[in-house]
């Protein structure tokens, strides 16, 4: 959930999510270019002293627009502060206790002085005209949210923005109103570092949910998009580092952590599903198929944790042919041949050991 201070700000504003949200359906170019606003760039970081200076440098090198750069150091134990010493007169550096990326971003939102917010991860970089081009798009379309294309080190897009609208020419822009749900019909939603959003719209959407270990970015993007619509600049303006120091959601060999991560994904997707049902049932069904996948993966991990009843509950929840034949086969195996499934999946995830299993049984601990 949002931090206490962010919740206080939400209560003070008196605006719950989407209440009074405007359906800004403006496709005509009726907004003249005006004086550039102040954009607050928020860079959360944790133990990335070797990477964060490059990210900060790319934010400070933005041309044609005024911005403040706020670095939230989430309790780094390395020499991050020293690595940023060369920028001390050009950025706001705030060090906090370690609370996770969502807490760091929410702190940045509270500290921001600009009316517009942009986020940059500490291992990613921007094109020098990224903010300028997005602000021009926001001004022309009247949108409150704008995304651009994000690419990896090889130059390949890591989002599905171009797939969702093949007719959008490269280097052009378009606004999609809040009833246009094509974004939910493709995997690979826009990346947080590609987003520029009005601060007021961001706060009304609830900020980042600090109770989520993963998918906090997905939840915010879904809420903002469904609340206000969004614009897209079809240019690759964000370079994302895919060389992760820590394993991703599906890479973890710690089954308990993986189960919790899948649960976060299910929470976010379930919320999106019910928001989409009254707007676009096809988009909702696309989300539902993904939900069955995560339920099936939870069932697999529960087998690795020797939790038979939990594994079968999750397998039943994911028992849907629309989720794909692999998911269906996995679920049927768990439901019809549990001992074999337990052997297969405990080996796949790495046995947690007989003594650990015994302790779980003795304490009647339900994993996770």
Task: Give 18's pLDDT tier (boundaries 50, 70, 90).
Answer: very low
* Summary mean pLDDT of the chain: 86
Q: DSSP for 191-216?
A: PGGG-EEEHHHHHHTT---TT-SS-H
User: Can you tell me the mean pLDDT for 76-82?
Assistant: 94
Quick one: what percent of the chain has pLDDT higher than 70? 82
Residue 358: per-residue pLDDT: 36
By the 8 A CB rule, do 194 and 152 touch? no
- Strands 38-45 and 66-74, sheet pairing: parallel
User: Can you tell me the mean pLDDT for 87-107?
Assistant: 95
Distance set, CA 350 to CA 88, 334, 347 (Å): 46, 18, 5
Residue 71: which of 79, 62, 87 has the closest Cα? 87
The residue ranges of DSSP E strands in the chain, in sequence order, are: 38-45, 66-74, 92-96, 116-119, 125-126, 145-151, 173-176, 196-198, 230-239
Distance CA 298, CA 281 (A): 25
Q: DSSP for 316-329?
A: HHT--GGG-HHHHH
User: Can you tell me the mean pLDDT for 43-52?
Assistant: 95
Q: What is the pLDDT of residues 186-236, one digit of tens each?
A: 988 999 999 999 999 999 999 999 999 999 999 999 999 999 999 999 999
Residue 297: per-residue pLDDT: 94
Distance CA 224, CA 207 (A): 10
Distance set, CA 353 to CA 69, 142, 358 (Å): 48, 58, 9
Q: What is the pLDDT of residues 294-336, one digit of tens each?
A: 999 999 999 999 999 999 999 999 998 888 889 999 999 999 9
CA terminus-to-terminus distance, the chain: 20
**Sequence-ordered alpha helix ranges (H) in 98-172:** 101-111, 130-141, 161-164
Residue 209: per-residue pLDDT: 97
Token pair for 363: 């304490």
> Going from the N-terminus, what domains does the chain have, and what CATH number goes with each?
4-239 (3.90.550.10), 255-362 (no CATH)
pLDDT(24) > 70 = no
Using DSSP's 3-state secondary structure scheme, residue 255 falls into helix
Q: What is the pLDDT of residues 248-274, one digit of tens each?
A: 334 456 889 999 999 999 999 999 999
By the 8 A CB rule, do 74 and 103 touch? yes
Distance CA 139, CA 33 (A): 6
Higher pLDDT, 16 or 263: 263
Owner of token pair 């550096």: 93
Token pair for 201: 């719209």
Residue 35: per-residue pLDDT: 54
Quick one: what percent of the chain has pLDDT higher than 90? 76
Distance CA 154, CA 285 (A): 33
Q: Return the minimum-mean-pLDDT range out of 146-160, 266-280, 351-365.
A: 351-365
Phi, psi of 109 (to 5 degrees): -60, -45
């Amino acid at each position: 959930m949002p931090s206490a201070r962010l919740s206080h700000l939400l209560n003070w504003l008196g605006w719950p999510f989407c209440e009074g949200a405007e359906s800004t359906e403006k496709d005509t170019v009726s907004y003249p270019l005006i004086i550039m606003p102040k954009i607050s760039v928020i860079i959360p970081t944790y133990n990335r002293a070797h990477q964060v200076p490059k990210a900060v440098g790319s934010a400070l090198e933005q041309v044609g627009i005024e911005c403040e750069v706020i670095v939230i150091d989430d309790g780094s134990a390395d020499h991050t502060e020293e690595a940023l010493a060369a920028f001390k007169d050009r950025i706001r550096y705030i060090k906090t206790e370690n609370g996770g990326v969502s807490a760091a971003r929410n702190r940045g939102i509270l500290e921001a002085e600009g009316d517009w917010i942009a986020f940059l991860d500490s291992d990613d970089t921007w094109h020098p005209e990224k903010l300028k081009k997005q602000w021009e798009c926001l001004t022309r379309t009247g949108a409150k949210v704008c995304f651009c294309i994000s690419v990896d080190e090889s130059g390949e897009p890591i989002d599905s923005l171009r797939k969702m609208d093949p007719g959008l020419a490269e280097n052009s822009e378009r606004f999609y109103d809040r009833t246009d749900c094509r974004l939910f019909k493709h995997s690979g939603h826009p990346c947080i570092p590609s987003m520029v959003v009005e601060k007021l719209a961001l706060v009304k959407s609830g900020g980042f949910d600090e109770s989520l270990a993963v998918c906090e970015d997905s939840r915010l993007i879904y809420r903002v998009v469904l609340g206000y619509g969004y614009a897209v600049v079809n240019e690759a303006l964000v370079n994302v580092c895919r060389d992760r120091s820590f394993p991703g959601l599906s890479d973890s060999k710690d089954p308990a952590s993986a189960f919790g991560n899948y649960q976060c994904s299910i929470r976010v997707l379930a919320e999106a599903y019910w928001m989409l049902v009254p707007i676009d049932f096809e988009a909702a069904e696309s989300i539902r198929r993904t939900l069955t996948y995560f339920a099936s993966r939870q069932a697999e991990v529960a087998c690795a944790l020797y939790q038979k009843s939990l594994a079968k509950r999750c397998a039943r929840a994911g028992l849907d042919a629309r989720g794909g034949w692999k998911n269906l086969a996995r679920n049927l195996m768990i439901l019809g041949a549990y001992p074999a499934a337990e052997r297969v999946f405990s080996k796949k995830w790495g046995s947690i050991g007989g003594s650990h299993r015994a302790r779980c049984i003795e304490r009647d601990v339900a994993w996770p």
